[in-house]
Amino acid sequence: MRTTFAAVHQVKDASPTVKIISLAPEEKISFKAGQWIYIFADKGGEKIKRAYSVASHPDEPELRLCVKRVENGFMSNFLCDMTPGRRLEISQPFGTFILDEPGKDIIFIATGTGIAPFMSMLPELAMRRYGGHVTVIFGARTRDEVLYEKEINKMTASINLSFVPVLSREEWAGEKGHVQDAVKKYAKPGGEAYICGLVQMVTEVRQLLEGMGLDRKRIHFENYI
């Protein structure tokens, strides 16, 4: 596996448990919107690695990651506690969760940091002057866990885009329940669907979309194992 190093440029809060980590790679990393990289770390003398989706557009000089602190998790806490100036070993990009057939309406479905690859794909669609409609369904428990709201709403200036946060544990004026509830309301057969997040949600949404008549080949997904 090819690896290189990147300096930590900035670590910002995105929610109480999620950080956006900006990296300045020492050599250019060419990747496609939606792909992920490995981050390496030393855990008590053992070299470990974990996968993280790139949450920035391929043309940007900076590479951004969107990382959730996992209780008792080593790498996620190591990354969330990073300070600017530290150096990280990173891999080449991997993954086939990339934009396909962007001639149809698209629905992006994510929970938590599963939104990360969409923060690379949305600017890519804007760059391509994509003409179809894009719906982003984002599941969170509470309002303060909704990620990238400002950034996504800003993109409505360049893409025909609807952002639909769905809250499962807080009363509010928007959609309530789980992403599955919003999928039933917003997904239409004939479009392209991209799902990203933990396995159980991804599996349930895939089954739901297939049941609603979406072509299995048009349902793309990434599991955060």
Interface residues with ligand FAD (CB under 6 A)? 36, 50-53, 66-68, 70, 72-76, 113, 116, 222, 224-225
Closest CA to 31 of 6, 12, 67, 68: 6
Nearer to ligand FAD, 36 or 163 (CB): 36
Nearer to ligand FAD, 30 or 72 (CB): 72
Tokens of 205: 């949404």
Nearer to ligand FAD, 49 or 188 (CB): 49
Nearer to ligand FAD, 137 or 187 (CB): 137
Q: Minimum CB separation from ligand FAD for residue 76, in Å?
A: 3
Q: What is the DSSP letter of 94?
A: B
Q: Are 107 and 206 in contact (CB under 8 A)?
A: no
Pairing of strands 160-167, 36-43: unpaired
- Which residue has its beta carbon closest to ligand FAD? 73
Burial class (CB in 10 A: 0-12, 13-18, 19+), 37: buried
Nearer to ligand FAD, 64 or 159 (CB): 64
Q: Minimum CB separation from ligand FAD for residue 97, in Å?
A: 8
Q: Are 137 and 179 in contact (CB under 8 A)?
A: yes
Q: Minimum CB separation from ligand FAD for residue 185, in Å?
A: 26
Q: Minimum CB separation from ligand FAD for residue 159, in Å?
A: 22
Cα–Cα distance for residue pair 141/138, rounded to 1 Å: 10
Q: Minimum CB separation from ligand FAD for residue 140, in Å?
A: 13
CA pseudo-torsion sign 84, 85, 90, 93: positive
Residue type, 99: L
